[in-house]
């Protein structure tokens, strides 16, 4: 048994890609996308026709709607290959606007429904884990629209997401690791900060344990991996979303893989926490890593959304 198959025994494997033609190789259950991945895909010859078709078919419509239709085109193609769910992201520029996020999420759902997709079972609307995004997710969930809270770097964000009843969270392992490594500079000891000691891994383990201890139903999906060591240290997490390159690396190894997380033994001994808006914002502010990475992530996704718009305009949108 290779490591990818071993991982599947305990964890739902999710592919993190817009390159849906690779999905038949790794055979994931679910798939996640984001603006950066879609931008990367449409710059490849084999995927450019999806962008051109969206522009041609919906010429004259608002640019943001044409982009949503492109995202849904990718998502629909992905759902024709995988058995599970696809995550489609709301424009990051709406990360601080609850009402606009809800409206955009509802429109994406309507577009998928028009394609015959059972959105309650097969779609997650991806929203940034700002206070406004979490509130938008709460409202969407109350409407039966399942959500995936992304750009999650802190325990406070995870607690607020659990309290909002969101379907799934995506704590970003690799970006947390990046911040601590950069912060440490020349004093960083890679070996000492690997595996279970990796700061990104430790963050996910804390959240996973807290959720299991307190019976919080929100699914935990580790994301943004830099190496297979991080993945192996989280084997047993509810879900892990993994790039095609790291999926291939796991599939190529037949070394033994042990379960690292188990809901029966990984419960944390932490009292239940709750946040209102003021205490949430203060807790996030106290976490320099989470504050910086959340802002950086929103900026990067927003910049790629602008680049995607520019490509569409060049195609005649």
Looking at residues 286-296, what average pLDDT do you find? 98
What kind and span of H or E run contains 124?
Answer: strand 123-128
High-pLDDT (> 90) share of the chain, %: 93
For residue 148, give the 3-state DSSP assignment.
Answer: strand
- Catalytic residue (choose from 21, 44, 56, 126): 126
Statement: residue 316 has pLDDT above 90: no
Statement: residue 70 has pLDDT above 70: yes
Buried b (16+ CB within 10 A) or exposed e, 94-112: bbebbebbbebbebbbebb
Answer whether 31's CB lies under 8 Å from 14's CB. yes
Instruction: State how far the alpha carbon of 43 is from the alpha carbons of 37, 38, 152, 217, 300, in Å.
Output: 10, 9, 28, 38, 17
88 half-sphere exposure, CB direction, 13 A CA radius: 28
pLDDT in tens, 206-219: 999 999 999 999 99
Looking at residues 65-78, what average pLDDT do you find? 96
Which pLDDT band, with edges at 50, 70 and 90, does 268 fall under?
low
126 tagged catalytic = yes
CA 188/CA 185 separation, integer angstroms: 6
Looking at residues 65-74, what average pLDDT do you find? 96
pLDDT in tens, 106-140: 999 999 999 999 999 999 999 999 999 999 999 99
What kind and span of H or E run contains 13?
Answer: strand 12-16
Q: Could you tell me the fold of the domain covering 3-314?
A: TIM Barrel (3.20.20)
pLDDT in tens, 159-180: 999 999 999 999 999 999 999 9
E strands, 194-248, where? 219-222, 239-242
């Amino acid at each position: 048994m290779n490591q990818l198959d071993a991982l599947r025994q305990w964890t739902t494997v999710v592919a993190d890609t817009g390159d849906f033609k690779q999905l038949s190789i790794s055979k994931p259950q679910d798939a996640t996308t984001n603006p950066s991945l879609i931008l990367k895909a449409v710059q490849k010859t084999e995927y450019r026709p999806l962008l051109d078709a969206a522009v041609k078919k919906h010429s004259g419509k608002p640019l943001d709607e044409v982009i949503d239709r492109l995202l849904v085109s990718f998502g629909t193609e992905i759902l024709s290959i995988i058995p599970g769910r696809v995550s489609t992201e709301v424009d990051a520029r709406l990360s601080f606007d609850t009402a606009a996020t809800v409206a955009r999420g509802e429109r994406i759902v309507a577009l998928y429904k028009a394609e015959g997709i059972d959105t309650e079972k097969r779609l997650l609307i991806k929203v940034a884990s700002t206070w406004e995004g979490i509130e938008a997710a709460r409202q969407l969930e109350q409407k039966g629209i399942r959500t995936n809270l992304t750009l999650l770097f802190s325990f406070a964000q995870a607690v607020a997401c659990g309290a909002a009843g969101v379907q799934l969270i995506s704590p970003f392992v690799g970006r947390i690791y990046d911040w601590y490594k950069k912060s440490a500079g020349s004093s960083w000891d890679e070996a000492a900060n690997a595996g279970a000691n990796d700061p990104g891994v430790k963050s996910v383990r804390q959240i996973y344990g807290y959720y299991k201890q307190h019976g919080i139903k929100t699914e935990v999906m580790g994301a943004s991996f830099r190496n297979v060591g991080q993945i192996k240290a989280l084997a047993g997490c509810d879900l892990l979303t993994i790039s095609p390159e790291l999926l291939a690396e796991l599939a190529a190894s037949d070394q033994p893989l042990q379960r690292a997380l188990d809901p029966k033994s990984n419960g944390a001994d932490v009292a239940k926490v709750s946040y209102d808006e003021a205490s949430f914002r203060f807790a996030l502010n106290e976490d320099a890593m989470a504050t910086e990475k959340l802002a950086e992530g929103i900026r990067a996704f927003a910049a790629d959304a602008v680049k995607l718009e520019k490509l569409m305009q060049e195609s005649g949108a």
